[in-house]
A and B are shown apart, each in its own frame.
Chain A
Amino acid sequence: MKFKLENTGETLDGTLVKSLGNNEFVIKIGNNERNLKIIDMGHDKIEFVLDNSFHSAKYLENSTSKITIVVDGVKLTFNKRPDLDKIVYKNSGMESAADSQISLKSQIPGRVVSINVSQGDNVKKGDIVCVLESMKMQVSIKSHKDGVVKSLKLKQGASVAKNDVLAEIE
């Protein structure tokens, strides 16, 4: 099986070679064969000894194509199907420049303190669209592009979650 490490872009090959019984296995990563012994396992975690060193791993996300795993406190994201991923990426339009992206999303959770533009306004990249408050800090959300405010999904005083669409700018 091929694994693409999103953190660095490197691709590694891994296979389960054989089971030795008693929860011991031989696996192969790259060209190296290694011994692995399971200590404990649950639906989203595993504790094991790999060549005499103890490790613990926990899955934060485990879908058919993507794995987010915390290994000994370090978070890694793998793509199990790097080939497939590329195709999806292309077709979803994600590859096109950020400029053509319409929605302005909130990168933080917070409360809307002020709305600085109106529907139909012309805005320039970097203009303040609204101000959010979270954890006693006021953060201004700036337009990601030049354009016209097509719609505003904001209400003064309302709360927004991370990744909520705040406005559409075309």
Chain B
Amino acid sequence: MIEKILIANRGEIAIRVIKTCNALGIKSVAVYSDEDVNSKHVKMASESYHIGPPSPAQSYLNMEKIAETALSCGADAIHPGYGFLSENADFADLCEKKKLNFIGPSGKSMRLCGDKMLCKAAMIKAKVPTVPGSPGIVEEVEKALDIANEIGYPVMLKSVFGGGGRGIRLVHDDKELRQAFELASGESKAAFGKSALFVEKFLPKIRHIEFQLARDKHGNAVHIFERECSIQRRHQKLIEMSPSPVVDQKVRDEIGQLAVNAAIAVDYLNAGTAEFLRLDDGTFYFIEINARLQVEHPVTEFVSGLDLVKLQIDIANGKEMPFKQKDLKVNGCAIECRINAEDTFLDFAPSTGRIYDVNIPSGPGVRVDTYLYPGCTVSPYYDSLMGKLITWGQNFEEARQRMQTSLSDFYIEGVETAIPLYRTILDSKEFISGDLSTDFLDRFKILDRLRDDLKKEASQKSEVAIAATLIHSEFLKNRIRSHKEHSPHWKTQLGRN
């Protein structure tokens, strides 16, 4: 049985895993780079070990160092979180070799999930429908141009090693494809040391809907409902929810079963996610299996009542899942907003630096997973995800209203965030009616509405701001005078006490 888990990650997900470890009485081990000496996960874990310089390649991606640290501190298992080594089959193999219990699928299964081409072949064999398009990896830009012209623009250029939206680019013509091809191979080489791209037909106005999966060592497999993740920017998710407004129980049963079949087709073990695209006519296409715990797993936890990290640990321990598909029922509705350090008006460019102040919302049905605390730093070395705000309600409307008030309460000083954007989205009639698609922001010109909303909000607060400034400048004047008179206390000057 697992008694001590090393968490090969940082930020909010490391904290998330530590919380379940604490609840289960399992010792937690944090690892950190030079950049993370003051990070919250380091302070929360039972033990913490330094593993290298800030650069991920030399710290959080350093397999040997992490495995060595786990062995020397007596950890018997490794939780990889998401990103970093979470979908690295070599790392899963290395753990197995060193007798460390890797909390996730086997290296072999991961390799199959990670190779989009092999995975696609396995799905076709298992009769799981996939996106029509490219035959295989495209090595030369000229070949990519040929395929693109054959299937017609716009096309998606994707990296076989991508994931979480990275290495995916939409291109409209030859010129864009040439530019994107170069950038995408560079990015892929920088992140994974190798590049392999493929081209797929771009499908307009699609929804991104995924199914949470779990499969144990006894061959039991279930889906834990869907998550609607259609609100995105640059192919990365911003808002997720469960259930989806377009999935009823019949569709859930049907597509959920396809997701389970997909998991079986790649001999998947532990918690994972099958991602689908849904066209306007209700057609679902399988796109990939994410062989890890997803960023957006809390929405599933809210509507299922499960602790997915606990489930992962139980499965890694060889336990049989204590429920069957028929026992799982959707309870209410949950919404998640990703709190990224990004500037909405600079095309979501990264925004980094010290967090001078932060107010974290709370209340009934409100959950915040974050590494933020006043005085912490958002590092340019790592992902921009600072936290996640998740709300639950008995129905969509209650969850949405709780999200709105929680977003207003969430104050982060020091970096730009998309919190104002989320408030505009949550307020839009299109979001309320469930008219979602991956091009939601462009389709409804949400950024223009955001500009108007910000103006309105500033206008509403202008009188209060002037009131504050009038009084405050009086205070400053008095303070200068008081310094001259060697009476340091402003309160006396303003007649207090």
Q: Using a CB–CB distance below 8 Å, which chain A residues touch chain B?
A: 1, 3, 5, 7-8, 10, 12, 14-16, 19, 21-23, 25, 27, 29-30, 34, 36, 38, 41, 43, 46, 48, 50, 55, 57-60, 67, 69-76, 78, 107-111, 113-114, 128, 131, 133-140, 159
Q: How far is the CA of A138 from the CA of B181 in the complex (A)?
A: 13
A107 touches B472 (CB 8 A): no
Within 8 A of A (CB), among B326-384: 341, 343, 346, 349-352, 357, 359, 380-384
Q: Which of A12, A59, A114 contacts B186 (CB 8 A)?
A: A114
B464 touches A108 (CB 8 A): no
B467 touches A69 (CB 8 A): no
Q: Using a CB–CB distance below 8 Å, which chain B residues touch chain A?
A: 166, 179, 183, 186-187, 190-191, 341, 343, 346, 349-352, 357, 359, 380-384, 408-409, 411, 413, 454-455, 457-472, 474-476, 479, 490, 494-496
A14 touches B383 (CB 8 A): no
Would A134 and B352 be within 8 Å (CB), given that A27-B471, A72-B461, A74-B461 are in contact? yes
Q: How far is the CA of A7 from the CA of B479 in the complex (A)?
A: 30
A135 touches B350 (CB 8 A): yes
26 A-B pairs (CB sep. < 8 Å): A3-B469, A8-B455, A8-B459, A10-B459, A16-B471, A16-B474, A19-B494, A29-B463, A29-B467, A55-B468, A72-B461, A73-B409, A73-B411, A74-B458, A74-B461, A76-B458, A78-B465, A107-B346, A108-B349, A109-B352, A111-B380, A113-B190, A134-B352, A135-B380, A138-B183, A140-B183
Besides A5-B458, A135-B352, A135-B382, 20 other CB < 8 A contacts? Answer: A3-B469, A7-B455, A14-B469, A16-B470, A16-B471, A38-B494, A43-B479, A46-B468, A46-B475, A71-B468, A76-B461, A108-B351, A109-B380, A110-B380, A114-B186, A133-B190, A134-B349, A134-B380, A137-B384, A138-B183
| Contact partners of B468 in chain A: CB under 8 A | 46, 48, 55, 57, 69, 71
Q: How far is the CA of A139 from the CA of B343 in the complex (A)?
A: 13
Q: Which of B383, B411, B471, B495 contacts A46 (CB 8 A)?
A: B471
Q: How far is the CA of A154 from the CA of B474 in the complex (A)?
A: 47
B459 touches A5 (CB 8 A): yes
| Contact partners of B382 in chain A: CB under 8 A | 135-136
Closest to A47 in B: B468
B461 touches A14 (CB 8 A): no
A135 touches B384 (CB 8 A): yes
Q: Which of B411, B454, B464, B495 contacts A7 (CB 8 A)?
A: B454
Q: How far is the CA of A131 from the CA of B382 in the complex (A)?
A: 18
9 closest Cβ contacts across the A-B interface? Answer: A7-B458, A57-B468, A135-B350, A14-B466, A108-B349, A134-B350, A135-B384, A71-B461, A71-B465
